[in-house]
Structures are given as C-alpha cells and as structure tokens.
C-alpha cells in the first residue's frame, strides 16, 4: 500500500495515475492498434507461416508499428522488468479469442537461453502463457523446447542474421499426436517459430498453431 502511494502506477502513454493492474488509461487504450485477426481464417501471419511449415491456425493480438503504443507495451514487458504486462496482454486476448471446439492440446512458449534468462531474470512469455492456460483450461509446458544457442535479441539483429537459426532449438522430450499452440512475443520474419515448429512436427503426428502478442510485418 505504501509503495503504491510513493510510486503509483502510471499510464505508459500519458503518464496519468491509473489502477495498479492496468497498463494504460481508458483514453490511451483507444490508441492501441489491435489486429482483429480471426484465429481460424486466413491472415498475414498464416500466409507467411505456410511458406515455411504446415500451420493450422494463427493469431496476433497487436500491430507492432514503429513508435506505436503497442511497441512500447511489448518493450515494457521484455526489457523493463514489467512482467505483469504479460498477464494484462493475456486478458486482452481472452476478450477476443475463442477456440470454440478446437482447443489445442498444449501451450508451449519460446524459451530463452539459460544465460539470457539469468540476465533478464524472467521469461517474458511465462506469465502470459500461464494466464492463458488457466483461462482456457489448456495445459502448458515450459520445458518441452530447449534453446541451444545464446544470441542477441531479434530486434538488434540485421535481417540476414535473423534468418540464420538452424538448430537453435531442440526438444527436451518426445511429443506425439498433439496439437501444440506455440507462443511468442513478436512475429517478424517467422524464423523463430518456424525453427521450433519443425522440431515439433518431425517428432510425431503433431500439429502446430501460432499465437503471438504482436506482429511486425
């Protein structure tokens, strides 16, 4: 309570004091660019994924334009230690996404390399994934995928290096006959989800769908 008085939660956009569990005020919320994609029908992410691997369904919550509020929200989560942002983003998704009678069997988030995890102190996708899991009643597994190589953030790489990630990921255990929802923060080239998807697809009769916080296409 005292910390809330000394350091009140402020809107990420206008700096107005807001409730502790919010990211932006009501006025600034209207400036967030949501994609309004349909999970089951065609969208730009699905089109791009299908060029690289067999994908079932795809969904992105936000547009990730340069200098946008959406980009600022994701950066708060990834680089400024605001882990609760993942819970808020997940709640925004539950307001918009209905799996109907085609729920995936398992949720898996893109892992960090152990060194990056120690540097950051948390995986920005874990709270997000766990919140979605609790709402939809879909189990999650943070240990299924292993990141083998330590590398700098995708946002800091040039395009060529983003495309060079062969054997970046591997499976820690076998999985078969599952429809896996692969979760990432930002979809750019699609190289990361493609690398993981092939590891999942080649091990058994599995299917992969993609869900991301934001898309940068």
Q: What is the pLDDT of residue 162?
A: 47
Q: Is the pLDDT of residue 23 over 90?
A: yes
Q: What is the pLDDT of residue 3?
A: 47
pLDDT in tens, 182-195: 999 999 999 999 99
Q: What is the pLDDT of residue 79?
A: 86
Overall average pLDDT of the 62-83 stretch: 89
Map out the domains of the chain as residue ranges.
33-66+93-215
Q: Is the pLDDT of residue 119 over 50?
A: yes
pLDDT band of residue 203 (cuts 50, 70, 90) is confident
Q: Is the pLDDT of residue 205 over 70?
A: yes
Q: What is the DSSP string of the chain?
A: -HHHHHS--B-TTT--B--TT-SS-HHHHTTS-B----SSS--HHHHHHHTTS--S-EEEEEE--TT-HHHHHHHHHHHS--THHHHHHHHHHHTT---TT---SEEEEPPPPHHHHHHHSS-TTHHHHHHHHHHHT--B-TTSEEE-S----GGGS-HHHHT--TTSEEESS---S-EEEEEEEEESSSHHHHHHHHHHHTTSS-EEEEEEEEE--
Q: What is the pLDDT of residue 71?
A: 93
Output the pTM of the full model. 0.89
Q: What is the pLDDT of residue 5?
A: 56
20: tokens are 């502790």
CATH fold of 33-66+93-215: Rossmann fold (3.40.50)
Backbone torsions φ then ψ of 4, nearest 5 degrees? -65, -35
pLDDT in tens, 126-169: 999 999 999 999 999 999 999 998 766 554 445 455 445 457 99
Q: How far apart are CA 162 and CA 176, in angstroms?
A: 29
């Amino acid at each position: 309570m005292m910390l809330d008085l000394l350091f009140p939660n402020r809107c990420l956009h206008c700096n107005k004091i807001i409730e502790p569990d919010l990211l932006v005020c009501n006025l600034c919320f209207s400036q967030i660019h949501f994609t309004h994609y349909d999970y089951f029908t065609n969208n730009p992410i699905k089109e791009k994924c299908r060029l690289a691997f067999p994908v079932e369904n795809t969904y992105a919550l936000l547009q990730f334009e340069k200098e946008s509020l959406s980009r600022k929200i994701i950066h708060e989560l990834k680089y400024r230690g605001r882990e609760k942002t993942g819970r808020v983003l997940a709640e925004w998704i539950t307001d918009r996404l209905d799996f109907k009678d085609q729920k995936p069997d398992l949720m898996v988030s893109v892992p960090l390399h152990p060194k990056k995890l120690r540097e950051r102190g948390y995986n920005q996708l874990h709270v997000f994934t766990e919140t979605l899991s609790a709402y939809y009643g879909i189990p999650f597994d943070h240990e299924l995928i292993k990141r083998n190589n330590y590398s700098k953030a995708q946002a800091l790489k040039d395009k060529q290096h983003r495309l060079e990630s062969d054997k970046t990921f591997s499976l820690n255990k076998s999985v078969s006959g599952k429809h896996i929802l692969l979760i990432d923060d930002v979809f750019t080239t699609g190289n990361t989800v493609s690398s993981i998807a092939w590891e999942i697809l080649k091990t058994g009769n599995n299917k992969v769908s993609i869900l991301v916080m934001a898309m940068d296409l």
